[in-house]
Amino acid sequence: MIPGTEDTRYTYVNGIIRAREARLLNRSHFDRLIAGDLKSFPAILADTGYAGYKDIPEGLENGAKEIKDFFNKHCITLEVKKFLDWPEQIHNLKVQLKGGGEELLYPQEYSEVETLPEVIDAVARYTSDHNPFILSTSLDRILCKYISETAQFAAFFSEYYKLYFDLQNIVSFFRARQFEERRDIFDNVYIPYGSLKKELFIANLNTEYKQIGRSFFTTPYQAIVEKGGAYIAEKGSFLRLERLCEERRLQFLLQARRMAFGVEPLFGYYEFKLAEIKKLRQVYWGKLNQIPVENIKESIPDVW
């Protein structure tokens, strides 16, 4: 287990989090939601924190806002607050540059990222080349750089984000393989702050799916690559790959539940709660759009 920050200022809130974790939905809840219909949602969720939601999408939106407010109220570690604020600020900047509506913006009072030299340069390039793909990938890479540097203050976060970037690169690798200009696309989307080298991906951009796993046998991700790649080859779908990546991410965060002190339990609970809300949305919209049950099941990470 990776050591935590041991910050005793979080002792009180971590007690609250332990009680809240006991109310997170379990596999039984989701099995029943998937097996039922939309009308059964209120009854299945009656003994949970989602009880009383008449409008499920609106209720889930309120749930996401509530957990963000809870996090902001109790997080006193500036580095960790940035892990949540910076992605929202980058998103807002993209929306504004591309002329999106205000309804697409996150509520951020101040945008720190807009003052970063690399961001200023990326925005200047966009005003001349008007290439939204290059803008998005450039801003994403800048964001990852600053998150990676900031995460070095604690082993838990540096290892978490290294894992996170690896998983993002694996998904990007398989998505890039769907295009003829795969090398150029992957060059633009690769995040150089994980443990997997770019050369490993480049060497396998044209490798047959059944052979790819062998190239990753010295990494912790061989099973994800093999199973996710096989599903893409058979079904033409990224559902399994994305689920396996999300399971690996959540399994790492489970470590925070065994920490008595530090900001890690608060961060872990926030991420698990958002993942829970995402699962509920997947089931709800899957039912609403009559997605096959097996596809809904395939999309739900099996970590509780």
**In this structure, are residues 246 and 275 in contact, taking their beta carbons and an 8 Å threshold?**
yes
What token pair was written down for 298? 């395939």
Q: What is the pLDDT of residue 51?
A: 83
Q: What is the pLDDT of residue 246?
A: 98
pLDDT digits (tens, 9 = 90+) for 56-75: 888 899 999 999 999 999 99
pLDDT digits (tens, 9 = 90+) for 156-215: 999 999 999 999 999 999 999 999 999 999 999 999 999 999 999 999 999 999 999 999
Confidence at 274, pLDDT banded by 50, 70, 90: very high
Q: What is the pLDDT of residue 225?
A: 98
pLDDT digits (tens, 9 = 90+) for 13-61: 999 999 999 999 999 999 999 999 999 998 999 888 888 777 888 889 9
Confidence at 102, pLDDT banded by 50, 70, 90: confident
Model confidence, pTM: 0.95
State the angle between helix axes of 155-176 and 239-253 in degrees (0 to 180), rounded to the nearest 10: 180
Where do the structural domains in the chain lie, given as residue ranges?
Answer: 8-77+155-299, 78-153
What token pair was written down for 279? 């699962």
State residue 278 phi and psi, 5-degree precision.
-60, -40
The 10 Å Cβ neighbour count of residue 87 is: 16
Q: Kindly give, in sequence order, each residue whose CB lies less than 8 Å from that of residue 55, ignoring residues fewer than 6 positions away.
A: none
**pLDDT surpasses 90 at 150:** yes
